[in-house]
Amino acid sequence: MSTESPESRRLTRFPGVGPERLRQPQTPNNLQDEEKPGNRGTRFPGSLNHDFTLLTAAKLEEPPPERRSPKPALPRIPLAVNIGNATPHRSIAIDQVGLSLLPLIRHEDPWLKYTCLRKMRRGSLVQVACTKSIPTTMVTVKEARKLLELDQVIKFRHSNLVVFIGCYKYDGKTMLVSEYAQVSLRQTIAIPYDFEQAHVSEVCSQVFEGMLYLSGHGFSHKSLDSSKVLLQSDGNVKIAYIESCQETGFTPARGLGLLVLEMIQKDVIQKPIQEGGKLEPSLPVLWSAELINFLEITSHCSLSDIKMNSFLKSLSPTILIPFVSYAQLEAIAPQIMSSSA
């Protein structure tokens, strides 16, 4: 038991305060009768001697910036929605930066605005270029020889069609400027990776949407093959060479079936296919009954007949990204080797 006297207890001393004025701090236990505690007192967490006044939401002061002006609304980015029953009265527009306005036919040299980067063959001579102005945008420039009515072509707007940015008539030539796509489907088929059914279905579902949109406007891409289907770095599939489409009242689905054969047989057709003959793979045992049935239907049906086919289901364009990346390397590898040599 401690024998320390009260006088020997250590008290905190402050500058300017003499010993005669020192006293123990006021606490509820050592207050004299009728004595009230001072205004200042240390309060500790958990103490029961606090007297808080809670304010209601109506009495809380609103911050001045929010009182002066309402909260700004975040801008919404318009996205294209692909629907199978798109018609000319329900056209689907791509509203992107630089692509939202319809291109105009200009009577001037396109190379005043664009810089040629390299030449590329995709069925015909195509030049990869970029804008001279900043920010720089990649485009493709090609000479058009087989044309629809230009005013009709440049109005086509769909997420699975190559978008036209401009048309230039100069020195007796017609040059079309369109958005850039990294590789063609034919280049993707040529890489060592084999397509699985999910990849084939993803490509076909996107190509089908583009074909259905053209069919709704009365046009058909009758010469469609893997060289006229382009893939972008994000896995989006685009139908190119729209200017070579033909007006028709009936769009067969056979071209879609031929694309399937190219993908599953690595662009090698083992046996000749007769015009209007049945489409089937050379090794049916390697593929599901769903794919075999889809090929048989596309042999003689129209696009509208396969609209609800279960094979045309899209998982995600991202599953095509590895194929696009590999095909890009395969395309530029010869140029790198020749330049290093």
Beta bridge partners of 164: 178
More confident residue, 39 or 295: 295
What is the identity of the amino acid at 165?
Answer: I
Looking at residue 285, what is its pLDDT?
85
| Fold that domain 183-325 belongs to in CATH | Transferase(Phosphotransferase); domain 1 (1.10.510)
Average pLDDT, the chain: 76
Beta bridge partners of 341: none
Q: What average pLDDT does range 159-181 have in this prediction?
A: 89
The distance of Cα 158 from the centroid of its chain, to the nearest Å, equals: 14
83 pLDDT higher than 90: no
What the block records as the tokens of 104 is: 């105009």
280 pLDDT higher than 60: yes
CA distance 180 to 130: 9
Q: What average pLDDT does range 67-96 have in this prediction?
A: 48
Q: Pinpoint the alpha helices (H) of 217-278.
A: 254-264
Looking at residue 49, what is its pLDDT?
61
Residue 129 binned pLDDT confidence (cut-offs 50, 70, 90): very high
Residue 111 binned pLDDT confidence (cut-offs 50, 70, 90): very high
Q: What average pLDDT does range 154-180 have in this prediction?
A: 87
Looking at residue 336, what is its pLDDT?
60
The winner for highest mean pLDDT among 69-83, 229-243, 258-272 is 229-243
Q: Which residues of 71-107 are buried (b: 16+ CB within 10 A; e: fewer)?
A: eeeeeeeeeeebeeebeeeeebeeeeeebeeebeebe
222 pLDDT higher than 70: yes
Q: What average pLDDT does range 218-245 have in this prediction?
A: 89
Q: What average pLDDT does range 67-89 have in this prediction?
A: 51
CATH 1.10.510.10 domain position(s) in the chain: 183-325
Q: What number of CA atoms fall less than 13 Å from residue 88's CA on the CB side?
A: 7
CA distance 86 to 91: 6
Looking at residue 276, what is its pLDDT?
65
Percent of the chain beyond pLDDT 90?
31
Residue (of 110, 228, 245, 98) closest to 167 by Cα position: 110
CATH 3.30.200.20 domain position(s) in the chain: 97-180
What the block records as the tokens of 86 is: 């798109």
More confident residue, 133 or 23: 133
Looking at residue 86, what is its pLDDT?
46
- Pair 80, 93: CB distance under 8 Å: yes
Residue 88 binned pLDDT confidence (cut-offs 50, 70, 90): very low
Percent of the chain beyond pLDDT 70?
61
Q: How many CB atoms lie within 10 A of CB 327?
A: 22
What the block records as the tokens of 168 is: 């230039």
| Fold that domain 97-180 belongs to in CATH | Phosphorylase Kinase; domain 1 (3.30.200)
